[in-house]
Structure 1
Amino acid sequence: MVYAHGNFVAIDDMDIAPILTSIDARNAFADYKNIPIDSIVNFQSELLIREFSYGNSDSSSIPKLVYKVTIDAECIVNNEIGYIDANSGKVLATIPRMTGISYVGTFSTRYSGTQTAKTMLGSGKYRLEDDSRAAPIHTKNLNNSTNITNAAEIYDYNNIWTSSEHSPNNIDMGLDVHWALQEIYDYFYDNYEISSFNDNSFDINAFIRWGNDPDDRDNAKWDPTYNRLLFGEGYTYLNPIASLDAVAHEYGHGISDMQADIPYDDVPSAAIQEGLSDIWSVILENAIEPVNIWQIGDQVVKSGSCMRNNANPTDALAKYQLSVTYGSPSFNNTTSQYIKSGVFSYWFYLLVNGGSGTNEIGDSYSVYGIGMDEAEEFITNSIYDEYLDNLSSFSDFKSAFSNAAMVYYGDSSFIKNQVDMAFYAVGLSTEPNPLNYDITGANLLCTSSNETYTLNGDVPSNATVNWTSSSNINIISSSNTSAICSGNGYGSSWLRATVTINGNSFSVTNYDIGVGPPSILDVTSTNNLSYDYISDSYKILAGSGDYKYEGKLVVDEYYGLATNYHWAKVLGSTLIPINWSASYNTVYVYTKAADRILMLSCTASNACGSYTKNYSFFTGDASPFFALYPNPASNTVEIEVIGLTNSVNNNNEYEVELIDNTMQIRKKIKMKSNKTTINISGLKKGIYFVLLKSGH
């Protein structure tokens, strides 16, 4: 031991073997508290050493071997925990019990199968009450009355609540209600530390078999006057109204009333409450025991599919066909808060799942959705952070949640966009700005190195991102926010990110990338030059400036890969030569003399490498007018002088030189006719320049 924190007490010669048993200690404490032995259901004991003060000084104490005893018995005096001397049986101290005694019962519920829930014991019977939570939960039977004072306890003798015992007279609906309320309480407390409707541990009181006329019995409600839940046993249209979604719906009214102070005094405010209660019904059923979560009341209707279908608002088999577009004919032509509530419940459906289409007022929408987990947290936090307090209009509802999303996630966030886009889909908002996503990274990708590309924008946690590319890019690895790539070949290429959320996908604009070194040079424009296809050269035409011949040539790398251009002279006339100057990808050629030639090389380069191409120019009838074939060649090549004034027919002789890429002459022959064959079998493989010289 390095150190110990607390009060050190010396214990000398203590025998830790007790004289009394735990039952002796229990009996001693029961006698001390006047608890009848036959009322004890169970007890807990713990043998320990505890320090007890004596005399008038706080510093005077003595350690004792004691039993800590807790008795489970339904008895008004059973309100303390006792410390009993393990040797003498004397009660040395007591501390108050914080709660009553709850027992775990087994319920054969009407709608949710076998479940467990806490009950309390009294007079040898278990009742539907639990005070183990900060907010007591109590379920009673009104026996088709509206008089709360007539409410009766619901009992079971062995805490195994069977259907055969409790289904007569629909008493078993109380099991569903009592179980559901405990699950709802635990959901809020375990996930958000919220205790009861208004997070103030308010008692949760429920009454089943409420009402004595058909309308009351076919209804369930929240009583805002006395803050209690009332559940009818059904009559004409409904079976006992005790399914999990029904209980959650009414609990939601309690939240709207006690936490958010939302009134229920006109159609708009009532529609808000009904919409929010349907939202709570979906959230809680999904969290506790999901079954057809978007259908409200599907288990209690006697005919049809449900009361309201939030996934299919116009479901013909539902009792209510919902209006889901604010200001539409179906909305304006009804005074039913249940029908109008569809604007809110369908907004939530789209927020969770996404969807696209055209609403009833002609607006096309596309919502991707944020998923249930994110949506339920957003709804809960917004309400309990008081963004919805005292709202009473549809626009208030929209503003409250939109403002909450902006505060929680940011104005340009994905969730804020989806909240507003779902409001746009139901007619409560103008269309929000589109989501802002783009890809950034290197514009050039080489085959010898890797580059990381980043997807910018708020990618939600429930999204998946699929990266794709053109064939000349290898995607080495990727995540939801980035991809590592390498080049494969050369040319222009693209990289794309496709984001999928709740099965709905959208693609981010392609990011254009150049791959590899420059590979093709194209002439994009000329001025005062005439291209000769036979000789693949440019004749410089007469100009109007200081030189008799003036021309301009502009080139560009085909894929846009070049970041630099370099021009150099390869060969040309030395006596009164063709002059030239270059600027980036543009070259200017000019001279005062006719019958001149010039060959320039243009090298386009980038970080990955370079590519070079030669361009020939001539004035007058100078000699690059010849054809050479085949090209490439392996054994022989034919050279033919075409259409020149200075031809061998005018008694002129030509000389042909083959020059390698080091500018060394590797072969030289005389040409005595317009056409000749050259043997090149002895030359090394490579690129050669052919220079044709006339006799003058």
Structure 2
Amino acid sequence: MINKYSAATLLLLGGLTSSALAQDYSRVQVQDQNDNGTPYLVRFRAGKEAPLSTAPAVLREQLQLAQEDQLVQAKTDIDQLGYVHEKYQQYYKGIKVEHATYSVHARKGQVESISGQFEKVRGINTTPSLDAKAALERAMAFVGARTYMWQDAREEASLKQQENNPAATYKPQGELVIVRNQRSTNALKANKPTLAWKFNVYAKAPLSRAYIYVDANSGEVVLQDNIIKHAGATASFATAYNGTRSLATETTTGGYRLREYTRGLGIETYNAKKGNSYTAAVDFIDADNNWTAAEYNNANYDNVAGDAHFGAQATYDYWSAVHGRNSYDNAGAKIKSYVHFDDVPGGAGYENAFWNGSVMTYGDGASTFKPLTAMDVCGHEIGHAVCEKTANLTYQNESGAMNEGFSDIWGACVEARAVSQYGLTGKSTWLIGEEIMKAGGALRSMSNPNAYGQPDTYKGTNWRATTTSPTSSNDYGGVHTNSGVLNFWFYLLAQGGSGTNDISSAYSVTGVGIDAAAKIAYRTESVYLTASSTYANARTASISAATDLYGAGSAQVTAVTNAWYAVGVGAAAGGGTTPPPTTVTYCTSKGGNVAYEWIDYVKLGTIARTSAADAGYYNGTASSTSIAAGSSQTISFSAGFASTAYTEYWKIFIDYNQDGDFADAGETVVSGSSASTGTLTGTFTVPSTAKSGATRLRVVMSDASATTSCNSYSYGETEDYTVNITGGTLAFDGVAGITGGTALGNSVEKAISVFPNPASEVLNIALASKAPVVSATVTDLRGARVVGARFENGQLNVAGLAKGIYLLTVSDGQKSFHERFVKE
């Protein structure tokens, strides 16, 4: 079909000749260019912003629209910072210009900046000489598959049922668009806007799915943009990679299946039975909802179904909790996973995992990989879905490398949060695919890309040349190779580091923590990047994202800028090289015994951690939050107890002057004692003279009142985090802070009630906070998990337990509570 808008619809931003438009450069503070010479980002001077209602005029002025150019408003979003983002799609003579979108960013009704990709399209005849049917034949000849999805009657019937649309079909419907010719070697055609037919071609054998663009006049394929993207170059459930996990299931004929519907529209996991048909896939069914290793750790690797289901849950939870995003499309889209997939039914094993544009698909591996259902692989692949719904980075050359890089970033972030939340073992945040390699090692390293053949510097060692003819044989212009640059940028932004890169630039980056780095990366991808963005565009975009989040001149903006300098993109903050780092080493603080009490909850700003005991010390410095000098802050925290709630002494410290200790006046920000299992709070004021930048937050809970910030002690726990202070002075002159901190009192609270106790059949559970109980588990006095008790609707069925004393652990979704009960 030819996609044209009526002239009336397109009058919004068209209808003026370029000679009638004059740019007002006095309003512009920053302007960066795209590779075609059009503006990528324009930021306006303070006081020179235009009202949002005049956005069309602003775009006309800055982009110099010609008579044939139109921008049609596609959508409007309002983010958590209060910014309004209006996105416009470019058309030329009523035909959509592919990958050309432009956004207006406004706050408080004023346009602060505009950004995006605008194509200069001139003199193109928009009447095709090749019809859609002939163009599809060219596209199919290019793909060269034996079988296509629309040729399989079962797949077609399944699609109609899935979409509840009798007309639904996989057969591509041609759309007439204008797109850059990115495959021609002819200098007159290469990278030039071209009238083309666009098809979504889904091949079943060999498996592939891509947007294929066919020149509407010559019939040559001008672009292949893969929809299926790969991870590599080539109840209670005993999972393969994540230990025994509690997974949401659903009753069905014969028992329980892997379905859950509390997250968005749901999470569903299926068994592809070593075939390549989604239609023929079936449910995994367990009779008693206790998916044991004896049942599923078998030669067929059925235990990886639990990893896929748990990974999807953890990925959904990450996007919801950290970024406020409801599934990959931000509209609650259902996440479907298919394990035991093989592109050749009954073959030797499929060496890949992929997102096919609508579902997750996992192979069992063969000579190189184990089953590919590891946590970071799951986070990576669903990250592709997020990219598709936001920046939609074209899968080739630099934009494709960033598409892969962002997926690695989200795989690392999902895994890091899951490790922190669930105490998972065997995982490394900065390695990708470390659990699925048969010979050990990993697919990629974000902290040392060179170790796996990737570049850590733009166009440096291991950089793979981009190409005008991207194919699978050249990794579509190095998408899995050159992603190392974005990976290393993110690692340095989160963790910091110093050295000399491949182009002899000495750098030093002060890390901001993985949480702040993730927020910057997400805003970069979701707000500022477009389909054709380059690494230079990403630098500009991320600086804007960090400025939005943390303010101009903040430590985070400096870190973003210096991290790009470190990987060879742009100058350091302030120009030139970055200063050498100042190394600060903190003293040791650790509890010797956590058998009776431990820290189970800490929250300050975006730091929010629920945990079990951590052997006396937890290093959470990769988690960070920003606090402004002069601001009042409230920190929440609580103790976990094995049974009896003892009196605990709390001391919380912040190294305001960043000198490596907590001994200066005012650096003890909270102090007091309590025997409560409930959530406690302390309020403190950040001194206006505190030093800007990242520094240490230390939380100490001990049974001894004499415990300080720097010693080992008998019972209790210490946890360290990072806070980023903004708006403080560059030198520290002492703090007139809270002497002795905030008193917490010694109230004893019964946070959980169970009755009757002793119980013979049913134990009722209630929390003093009136919050609903999300989960309940039972252990015996040896600490072994008891599986004979089922929890439903606030009641624990204990009829099947042997007589004796048990420990009950319940959670309200935020923290855990413990109580003993007797089964009579």
Superposition TM-score tier, normalisation by shorter sequence? 0.3 to 0.5
Q: Which has the higher contact order (CA 8 A, sep 6+)?
A: 2
Larger of the two Rg values belongs to structure: 1
TM norm structure 2: 0.41
- TM score, norm. by length of structure 1: 0.48
